[in-house]
Amino acid sequence: MPPAAAPGTPAAFAAALRAREPLVGYWSVLDSPVSTERIARLGYDYVALDAQHGLLEYAGVLASLTAIDTKGSTAVGLVRVEANDPMPIGKALDAGAAGVIVPLVDNARDAADAVAAVRYPPLGKRSYGPMRSGLRIGPDPADAHAQTVVLAMIETARGLADVDEICATDGLDGVYIGPSDLRIALGGATSTDPAVSDEFEAALVRVREAAAAAGIAVGIHNPDGASAAKRLAEGFTYVTVACDLVHLEQAAGQHLSAARTSGLVR
């Protein structure tokens, strides 16, 4: 039996995710490798870089992935790519991502396309050029397949309707719920509209059950740690706490409020 992979490595993360062990991650939207490096040392299992809605261009993704992998890190770097397309998926993986989160997956065909973009032939169509990932993941295709995960986002009405088929896609490691888009897709007027909470919670159960039936991981984005703990207790296998920009604003606001209690400033 081969030795177990060291904690904090792509191999260990992939094995834990595929075994549906509880995992906790953090979400980053800022192009700030120094702060991302500090977050990666806190004990999170992964740090997800948002290349879809975040403020990172490719150079920022590359620098942040490098920062996540530095000494003392407990985390691996994931990237939510901007589209279900082989080019951004391949670039994120070549830069050293331990996996990709693929947005707007509507059906099993979309899920299969995402898997194909992550796997080398004959399993997929990823082009070979592991410029940085070869130092940490691979460089042999078989090693990359073993150590790299692909996660499909369930965040649209179509994706929810086809979630059983999506979860059954060969080679898919997990699904990831985007709660803001999903709530809007269910008729919410805003990304947090409580008027559709019943429908939203029912949708979460449906996705969890579909993932469990297919034997794959199921994750969800959360606004805070308490919400993440609640979702783990419900049966989600990996949860993300978001995000650096929001937490920066919250911390700055709290300190300002505390300073104002002196009564000497407005």
The tokens describing 140, both together, are 């042999």
Query: Any idea which residue has 């295709």 for tokens?
Result: 141
Q: Which of 53, 145, 247, 255 is catalytic?
A: 53
Closest CA to 37 of 6, 87, 82, 75: 75
Q: How far apart are the first and last CA of the chain?
A: 66
The tokens describing 257, both together, are 């409020």
Contact 25, 90 (CB under 8 A): no
Contact 74, 40 (CB under 8 A): yes
Distance between CA atoms of residues 186 and 218, nearest Å: 20
Q: Is 53 a catalytic residue?
A: yes
Distance between CA atoms of residues 9 and 76, nearest Å: 6
Active site residues: 53
